[in-house]
Amino acid sequence: MILENTKKTSSLLFKWIFICITVGVLSGSASAFFLVALEWVTQIRENNSWIIWLLPIGGLLIGLGYHYWGESVVKGNNLLLEEYENPQRTIPLKMAPLVLIGTLLTHLFGGSAGREGTAVQMGGAIADQFTKLFQLNSSERKTILILGISAGFASIFGTPLAGALFALEVVYFSKINIKSILLSFLVAYTAYFTVSLWQVQHTHYAIPFVPAITVINLFWVVLVSILFGLAAMLFSRSTHMWSHLFSKTIAFPPLRPFIGGIILAVALFFIGTTKYAGLGIPVIVDAFTTANAPSDFVLKILFTGFTLGAGFKGGEVTPLFFVGATLGSALSLIVPLPIALLAGMGFVAVFSGATHTPIACTVMGLELFGIESGLFVGLACGTAYFCSGSMGIYKAQIVRGAKYQVYQKLKRKKTDFL
């Protein structure tokens, strides 16, 4: 009996290690290819500004592709979260190539979008294929989806600790078992090192000077973090608003990104700059050293919300980095804290508020900026999380924990008052 149990345990352990390494390598390789391709299409766009006039054509191609071949995966990240909460059927592998091509077209022609959604969807679709291969039950399938999210996030940003925690936290951390936690870290590091083996570089950020921890400095951190939380709320509501508006006014889905592309192309032409198109990485990097105009974060929210709401593909996280970093940078004109610290706090705090993942975002801040800024980053992420409202960028995300309890009490008090 003991020997039989040992064999069963060993077999189970080998199975999950095999799955983790395979998912990590495949997802990491997919992200590496995506990062290289994304840099390539971005350079084409930047060297040929006229290409923005093809946004409607790109939008139409994306819309037609999803309408005729990708209707079952059009929900994107929300589909992963829905399947985690209520497992129904294996996510089709076609989600990966569809979102990859759709995102590259979006960035090629000048749409404002991110990249994490693409990597997470590719990781999730790849990982979920093991459900059929190993005949996994519902509980094991939840673990598989966590592995896909973890691998995608860790590989696209080069932050394995944050990637593992993000996957756990975004699906409601307190329901996670110890097996999922350990496997999430294993797959995250596998995916991260796979990207490194492909010699694909991630963007580096730095906070060269961190001020002393004083009462007045912490006061300023809390104050600006409230603004970061409100910016996260504005971003989330903007994206949902545009999506609802396009769905309500244009019945044929492929026409939504086509018409949206026309409006975006005209808007980009009259603004006279492409700084709000694509990822906006150069703007984010500059925000750590040069104060941004207060309008930068607002315009990025507007362009990203409109782009994704119209039906173009990509993620929301890098635009959230843009919004947070440029808002923090702009606040440096009136707040007596170092510009790099403000940009760095905004970078992760707005992300924290929009995804309800303060723990993962705090860890991401430590991985990106160093442990010296840890207290400021953690306080910023926690404050923004509580001040960003109950609606995040993922409609299917189940919000629980302390924040959920606070907002439920406020809602009951409002009802009693009325």
Domain edge (last residue) among 197, 225, 245: 197
pLDDT surpassing 80 at residue 173: no
Residue 170 sits in the same domain as residue 111: yes
Residue 306 sits in the same domain as residue 358: yes
Residue 293 sits in the same domain as residue 374: yes
Question: Contact at 8 Å (CB) between 397 and 170?
Answer: yes
Nearest to 361 by CA among 174, 228, 200: 228
Residue 27 sits in the same domain as residue 174: yes
Identify whether 410 is part of a domain.
no
pLDDT surpassing 70 at residue 413: no
Residue 174 sits in the same domain as residue 97: yes
Q: Return the pLDDT at 409.
A: 60
Question: Contact at 8 Å (CB) between 151 and 121?
Answer: no
Percentage with pLDDT > 90 across the chain: 84
Mean pLDDT computed over 355-363: 95
pLDDT surpassing 90 at residue 209: yes
How confident is the model over 180-194, as pLDDT tens digits? 899 999 999 999 999
pLDDT band at 8 (very low <50, low <70, confident <90, very high): confident
Mean pLDDT computed over 217-242: 97
How confident is the model over 269-299, as pLDDT tens digits? 999 999 999 999 999 999 999 999 999 999 9
Number of domains forming the structure of the chain: 2
Identify whether 109 is part of a domain.
yes
List helix spans (H) across 69-115: 77-85, 95-109
Residue 142 sits in the same domain as residue 288: no
Identify whether 115 is part of a domain.
yes
List helix spans (H) across 274-373: 281-287, 295-310, 317-331, 339-355, 358-369
Rounded Cα distance between 125 and 134, Å, is 15
Ranges 12-16, 40-44, 215-219, 409-413: which has the least confidence = 409-413
Q: Return the pLDDT at 1.
A: 58
Q: Return the pLDDT at 388.
A: 93
Q: Return the pLDDT at 4.
A: 61
Nearest to 232 by CA among 104, 139, 328: 328
Percentage with pLDDT > 70 across the chain: 93
Question: Contact at 8 Å (CB) between 265 and 55?
Answer: yes
Residue 244 sits in the same domain as residue 163: no
Q: Return the pLDDT at 395.
A: 86
Ramachandran area for residue 363 (φ above 0: left; ψ -120 to 50: alpha; else beta): alpha
Identify whether 41 is part of a domain.
yes
pLDDT surpassing 90 at residue 241: yes
Mean pLDDT computed over 70-85: 94
Identify whether 275 is part of a domain.
yes
Domain edge (last residue) among 197, 225, 241: 197
DSSP states along 180-232: HHHHHHHHHHHHHHHHHHTTPPPP-----------HHHHHHHHHHHHHHHHHH
pLDDT surpassing 70 at residue 40: yes
Exposure b/e, 95-123, CB count within 10 A at least 16 = b: bbebbbbbbbbbbbbbbbbbbbbbbbbbb
Residue 344 sits in the same domain as residue 253: yes
Residue 29 sits in the same domain as residue 66: yes
pLDDT surpassing 80 at residue 55: yes
Mean pLDDT computed over 241-247: 97
Residue 251 sits in the same domain as residue 301: yes
Mean pLDDT computed over 380-395: 92
What is the reported pTM? 0.94
Domain edge (last residue) among 197, 224, 245: 197
Question: Contact at 8 Å (CB) between 197 and 221?
Answer: no
How confident is the model over 108-136, as pLDDT tens digits? 999 999 999 999 999 999 999 999 999 99
Identify whether 418 is part of a domain.
no
Identify whether 415 is part of a domain.
no
131: domain CATH number is 1.10.3080.10
Identify whether 185 is part of a domain.
yes
Residue 123 sits in the same domain as residue 224: no
Q: Return the pLDDT at 179.
A: 84
The domain of 68 spans 2-197
Residue 40 sits in the same domain as residue 169: yes
Question: Contact at 8 Å (CB) between 115 and 279?
Answer: yes
Mean of per-residue pLDDT scores for the chain:
92
Using CB atoms within 10 Å of the CB of residue 413, give its burial: 0 to 12 exposed, 13 to 18 middle, 19+ buried. Answer: exposed
Q: Return the pLDDT at 407.
A: 57
pLDDT band at 12 (very low <50, low <70, confident <90, very high): confident
